[in-house]
Amino acid sequence: MAGSRGRILVTPRSVTRDGHPALELLREAGFEVTLSAPGRLPAEEDLRALLPGCIGYLAGVEPVSAAVLRAAPGLRVISRNGAGVDNIDLQAAAALGISVLRTPGANARGVAELTWGLILALARSIPQSDAALKRGEWLRREGIELEGRTLGIAGCGSVGRQVACFGASFGMRVLAFDPVPDPAFSAGPGFRYAGLEEVLAGSAVLSLHCPPAADGPLLDVARLDCLPAGALVINTARAELVDDEALLRALDSGRLGGYAADVFRKEPPGDDPLAWHPRVIATPHLGGFTRESVDRAVTAAVESLLAQLKRLSGAYSAQDH
């Protein structure tokens, strides 16, 4: 494009498929916008073909390896349309002088509401009942009521806090674990922070809202054994938070009452046994996929990208004089 200030790659699936008005801000600022394949998560070879020559990158959840970053020597800024950046090799980005930005909280409401949809679906076997009825079967599964039970929150950030508040409104006690608890936050009189082991031991319902750790799954064999018999686990954060094999054994034995997952190690999950397990409710990474969340996240990511490119442009101009 003649007179372009540089090229920006855009890969979030909802944006490549449906577009978004915020992309016009990039074009109005003089940047050329390149979209990856519509509605598809780009693979590493796609990124290695598309990123060279780009100065900016509006990124989704696709893995961004060191090799991808090294193949794009002109890249200066990556802006995520979400809070998580564990899909990006941050060490390589720092070494290459690439800024990595995120949009914390932009999709928190959407993720929190889906989390509660999954909690209710597990507690009352809603998908299984619907599927049975449509097969012509009158299948009535006994459910549980949530009032008076304990909701455990692992990760009490912007999403976890909203999930905790919803839980309190259902009359649940809420125990929350967070490495850096916010003493100013409370979901209500039944809320308190606690250590991870206490949260696990007390949770009739456990909801995961934290990034994965480098030393392995948060829910490994030992920690799954800490949960009360019949506990429900909801994961709208990251697939790496759970030990898949240990989780499958707990579901098969009936020790775990159910699992709901919006995230998988491979997406789409294909023949992943977790996605097909009768005690599992699976959704295709819908957490932040609401009209409102997408709008907030994309707009914030574009604005952050533009602001950082402007700062870098000013810094380079100052160095020239």
The residues annotated as belonging to the active site are 238, 267, 285
Describe the strand order of the beta sheet including 77-80 as a list of residue ranges. Answer: 32-35, 7-10, 54-59, 77-80, 99-101
3-state helix, strand, coil in the chain (%, to 5): 40, 20, 40
Q: Measure the CA–CA gap between 247 and 258, rounded to whole angstroms.
A: 10
**β-pair partners for 176:** 153, 193
Transcribe 101-163 into DSSP letters: E--TTTTHHHHHHHHHHHHHHHHHTHHHHHHHHHTT----------TTSEEEEE--SHHHHHH
C-beta of residue 100 within 8 angstroms of C-beta of residue 85: yes
Candidates 315, 252, 250; CA nearest to 77 is 315
Residue 289's alpha-carbon distances to 35, 76, 127, in angstroms, are: 19, 28, 20
Other Cβ atoms within 10 Å of 118 Cβ, number? 27
C-beta of residue 309 within 8 angstroms of C-beta of residue 76: yes
Task: For residue 275, give the 3-state DSSP assignment.
Answer: helix
